[in-house]
């Protein structure tokens, strides 16, 4: 489907259903579990415009894309688009312990800020305010301040682009794409997913392919040798056919 067709389809759907919608939610730049599908800054700008036009909340799920995974600290920064709500997690604690956070614009926040229990957003789960998780988050954020994570993502993009780029033109390889610290080899199909996993393990790496893709989302601090082991294993297995 072409981009113009996608825009027309989205616009028609919003026109029909806007009155029954609360918001638009998207993983900016990269749709993760949907197949590591990439989109551009313009898509996010058009979604912002559509949300404003139909008075909907624009929600960015940056649990996967945040903290330099796509290059900048947050994907929304690169697009120059401010969401109404943004969700964070994963790298918030460096993956050391589960913790999530939800950020909201002042307009959204004030709509739920009240001393009246009937009006306020009552949210008090058992694990709310986990002191250990918050300490891990503070330690992780301190490292982001001291070390250039964004540059590390740029370096990873260059390395994966070069190494995984060797798969381009191989039989059965549909596409190779890299954005920030995400590298994807899209295949025509995977005949036996478990067999592919075993072959990668036999090469000394643990990689989790799914659907028709083999992908890498390495730690931003990964060493060159470790990254090369991952990329070379994928290239070798792809060359042998899947």
pLDDT in tens, 141-175: 999 999 999 999 999 999 999 999 999 999 999 99
Q: Are residues 17 and 117 in the same domain?
A: yes
pLDDT at 128 over 70: yes
2 falls in which pLDDT band (50, 70, 90)? low
Give the number of other Cβ atoms within 10 Å of residue 210's Cβ. 12
Please tell me whether the overall predicted TM-score, pTM, comes out greater than 0.85 for this model: yes
Q: Are residues 20 and 109 in the same domain?
A: yes
Nearest to 173, CA basis, from 137, 197, 140, 209: 209
The secondary element (H helix, E strand) that includes residue 2 is none
pLDDT at 118 over 90: no
Q: Which domain holds residue 179?
A: 149-240
Number of domains in the chain: 2
Q: Are residues 156 and 121 in the same domain?
A: no
Answer for the pair 48, 12: CB distance below 8 angstroms, yes or no: no
Q: Are residues 142 and 52 in the same domain?
A: yes
The secondary element (H helix, E strand) that includes residue 141 is helix 131-146
Task: Give just the sign of the alpha carbon dihedral 165, 171, 173, 174.
Answer: positive
């Amino acid at each position: 489907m072409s981009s113009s067709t996608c825009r027309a389809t989205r616009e028609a759907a919003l026109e029909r259903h806007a009155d029954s919608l609360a918001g638009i939610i998207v993983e900016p730049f990269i749709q993760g579990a949907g197949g590591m599908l990439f989109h551009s800054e313009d898509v996010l700008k058009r979604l912002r415009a559509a949300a404003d036009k139909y008075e909907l909340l624009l929600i960015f799920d940056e649990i996967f894309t945040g903290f330099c995974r796509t290059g900048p600290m947050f994907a929304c920064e690169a697009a120059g688009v401010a969401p109404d709500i943004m969700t964070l997690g994963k790298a918030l604690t460096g993956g050391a312990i589960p913790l999530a956070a939800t950020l909201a614009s002042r307009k959204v926040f004030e709509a739920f800020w009240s001393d009246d229990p009937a009006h306020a957003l009552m949210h008090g789960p058992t694990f709310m305010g986990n002191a250990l998780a918050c300490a891990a988050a503070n330690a992780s954020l301190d490292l982001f301040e001291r070390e250039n994570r964004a540059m590390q993502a740029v370096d990873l993009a260059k390395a994966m682009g070069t190494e995984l780029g060797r798969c381009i033109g191989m039989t059965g390889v549909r596409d190779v794409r890299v954005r920030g610290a995400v590298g994807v080899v899209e295949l025509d199909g995977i005949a036996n997913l478990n067999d592919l996993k075993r072959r990668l393990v036999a090469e000394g790496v643990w990689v989790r392919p799914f659907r028709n893709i083999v992908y890498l989302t390495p730690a931003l601090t990964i060493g060159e040798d470790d990254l090369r082991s991952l990329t070379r294993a994928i290239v070798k297995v792809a060359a042998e056919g899947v």
